[in-house]
Structure 1
Amino acid sequence: MRLNDFSRNIRVRDQRGSGGGIGGGKKLGCGAIVVALIGAVFFGIDPMTTLGTIDQVTQSAPSGSGQEQAQSGQTVEESCSVGPYSRESCAALSSLDETWAPLFAEANIPFQRPTLNFYDGQGRSGCGSAQAAMGPFYCPADEGIYIDTSFYDQMERQMGAGGDFARAYVMAHEYGHHVQHLTGLADQVRSAQSSNPTGANPLQVRMELQADCYAGVWAAKNRDLIEPGDIQEGLRAASAIGDDTLMRNAGRRVSPESFTHGSSAQRMEWLQRGLQTGDEDQCDTFADLRR
């Protein structure tokens, strides 16, 4: 994907080399739920153990504003030039800002740019600790996208999901959770999950599939930047991180009731819907619940 260079107006924090730690925040929001099965594939961690650990970390995290991340004093240019994939991630963020801001203006909804947070191995977020085993995530408490860019190497080596568009898809998916946060949908889903815990996972799946669709919408609105093979890269990545595929690769029985992100087929379907329509209104994964 031929992304333009990033705008210096993007919001970036660089925690690499800061030593990590636990930041403020009391609760993981919808977009911040760990891709625990990725931890299982990459590190041999039991997904349920991972989720339990994150819950404990979140509950024990000291209260705070979520703005206590380590500050390196680096400029945006410097932060976006450190290590592999940083500049590419910043370029994707810039494109996402430029694509979504006008859509929010048209809908007369206040828009706030998210902050891209780089960390290395371990960092802090407004939702608690950030660890490489989590994979990329979005924290609504501080409106931050968190990523250890070594994840992209693991994606390519261990999941066969490499390529610049695959990496951009990951960024666009997490940005989709920011869109859900700004529109208020994320809060509605969290409320519904709290009142009906047995239905929490199916609601979470719908959230994730909508974020996939939003990623496709972003790509469709920037179709002039797409190169041959990009769409295939994105679909391959979506398939590789489907819950059923991750469970099989981890040697676990496929258990649809445990899905939190959707099957490979579902993830590809909703990414394709966004790509084909370029219309965010076609990403309503909750439509049947309102009938």
Structure 2
Amino acid sequence: MTPAHDLGGNRDASSLTDSVHGMSAVAVQGGSFGELLRSWRQRRRVSQLDLGIEADVSARHISFLETGRSRPSREMVMKLAEELDVPLRHRNALLVAAGFAPVYPEREVRAPEMSVVRQALEKILAGHEPYPAVVVDAAWNLVAANAAAAMFMEGVPDELLAEPVNVLRLSLHPKAMGGRLLNLAEVRAHLLYRLRRQAEVSGDGRLAELHDELAAYTYPGVDLNVAHVPGPGDILVPLRIAAGDRVLSMFTTIATFGTPVDVTLSELAIETFWPNDEETAAAFATS
């Protein structure tokens, strides 16, 4: 992970990549508007009839759009994309495929127009200290981190810290956090499930490939099938990290920007780590 405020910039392992690439090849690599629309509708598991009702058109019209017999208006493209909850990046692709100019800009985080965003991120990161906080993009690559997040890099090989640094790879790699998590089986199952759902919903082949990579990691002597039975005091699954002779217990929250109209901004997420017990809070307060 980068220094504080640096704003630069189980399923079978093969089956997820195959299924996501198979379902999303058109959406990710391009195609006609009809092909793209059908791909997103099927991914959302919405029938032509249901989509037509939500968009206030007939199922027949949806069928004609998908087969190319009808050409959508710009307003119809935007309406269908909204109803299908298509990510902004792919809404631009739908517009271009339909013969219209893209609507949503994509700016670098360091662009002058993003100064307000950078200021907000810097305040959030700094304000969360002494606890760790990171900013990631859609592929879980690190965009920024506060000083406290340096704990996640301790003892990590240089090859895992080469740009782009992937937060989920750091979390589960056996030579990184994966080798220090005392409840690895639980955390691994949760992260892989979340990543699998993101890959399926977004159609992003990068996430499917990352899932397969993480799922293939091996941990000698660790039983990954051990399931923790929640106790009466449990309210969530914490990260239990070995830190020298101490055990740090933390949970996380994830925040995104509301109502974004910029592609980059829509794909940023802020993950903050919080102490799960008084001992962990004290350890960070004195570090």
What range is the shorter-chain TM-score in? under 0.3
TM-score (norm 1): 0.24
TM-score (norm 2): 0.24
Choose between structure 1 and 2: higher helix proportion: 1
Higher Rg:
2
